[in-house]
Amino acid sequence: MRSLSRCGVSFVQVSLGAFLSLVADLATAEIANDNDLYAAYCIGSLTESNEQNKIRVQGWRNDPVLWGAMNEAESAIKLMLLRFTAYMTARGYPRAHDLKANVEVVLSTQRGRSDQLQCDEIIVGCVASCSQRDANARIECTERCRDQRDQNAACNSVARCTRPDNLPF
């Protein structure tokens, strides 16, 4: 305190200056924009989808049609993931952003994973109930499963990630 008062600056002035500096930093704190959150959400969703498909595919090794379809799906998911990851890298995540923006991105990624799991449970559970019926009944059942999926908010959200994206670059 003595050295501050010798310079003509009081403790209150220093404290007030530090407080105002902190407020200014908070006022200009960077937040993640909608595209950042969309890309992060889709990274979570597509990553979870890919992981679930890898688990499912283990039982399909003896079925070349299903095995091939899952390999194609995995390739498509990897391309979509590459696009969203490239966007986030170009935006400078995680290094070029403050803690708040990074937390928002992590939470959005976790939400994408959670929504994907919820949607997968609906679809897998419903489709499994269709497998014991004749072909026509299975088609009708599968259509009912699509209706259930389309009426679910989590499924609608994750479906956005497989459509052509609207990222700015």
pLDDT band at 113 (very low <50, low <70, confident <90, very high): very high
Question: Which one, of 13, 19, 39, 157, lies nearest residue 94 by Cα?
Answer: 39
CA distance 152 to 144: 13
Q: Which two tokens stand for residue 100?
A: 């708040």
CA distance 91 to 98: 13
pLDDT for res 129: 79
Three-state SS string over 40-62 comes to HHHHHHHHHHHHHHHHHHHHHCC
pLDDT for res 10: 56
CA distance 113 to 120: 10
The answer to whether 53 and 77 have CB atoms below 8 angstroms apart is: yes
Question: Which one, of 11, 85, 5, lies nearest residue 47 by Cα?
Answer: 85
Q: Which residue has better confidence, 46 or 67? A: 46
Where do we find the tokens 């008062």?
5
- The residue ranges of every structural domain in the chain are 1-30, 32-162
pLDDT for res 8: 54
Q: Which residue has better confidence, 126 or 159? A: 159
Residue 1 has pLDDT above 60, yes or no: no
What's the mean pLDDT when you consider all of the chain?
A: 80
Q: Which two tokens stand for residue 6?
A: 């010798």
pLDDT for res 37: 95
